[in-house]
Amino acid sequence: MLSNYGTNNIVVMLALGAIMVGLGAYFFSNKFASIPLLIAGILLILFTLWFFRDPERVLPEEAKKDKSLVISPADGKIVEIVEETESFYLKADSKRISIFLSPLDVHVNRVPVTGIVEFYHYNKGDYIIANHPKASELNEQSRIGVKTDFGKVFFKQIVGIVARRLVCELKVGDTVSAGARFGMMKFGSRMDIAVAPDTEIYVKVGDRVVAGETIIAKLKGSN
């Protein structure tokens, strides 16, 4: 299944790929022109279908029963787990888990916890490569805060040096469920999740995580 969040991009990229393949076939007698066009067109079509895929995900049974569990909001690799002050929503000391998405990862994002959206802010920002530590502070990003029965959770969609577009359907007042789709980050990106300092972290740097399926933490507090 292809993501609804990337319809415009999908149409343009598939059309461009088809044009390149068509031109390659038209100039087939000229191998120096046709072969590169055919290869480039086919690769663009395959990349588009791969990048904008949106596979179904099944929330773990454990997470369905225990709402204190935090689910990964993105596919990718854990690149940082640090303690820091989160100043936008938690406004307190926190643990931050950062996930880096390569262009080959699924880029559809899913809500990490069940609760109510209390905070949303979009920041236009810069375009530092997404796995750089400063990307968390400076890059274009959507900032979201959710209040749960076990504490507050703050997470950010952060684009990288290639990406130029974020999609986020959430707004303040929305009731959200862990594992539900909420948006997409296009082309190499990063997702940060900030939780209370006493949160039990289930992942480590270097781990691969899957949005909507991997349990990354357990909240200890209550509201």
The catalytic site residues sit at 189
Q: Which residue bears the tokens 């990337």? A: 6
Provide the token pair at 203: 């992942």
Query: By the 8 A CB rule, do 57 and 1 touch?
Result: no
CA 31 to chain centre: 41
In whole angstroms, give the CA distance from residue 47 to residue 123.
29
Question: What sign for the dihedral angle of Cα 82, 83, 84, 85?
Answer: positive
Query: By the 8 A CB rule, do 195 and 68 touch?
Result: no
CA-based nearest residue to 195, from 74, 104, 71: 71
In whole angstroms, give the CA distance from residue 201 to residue 207.
12
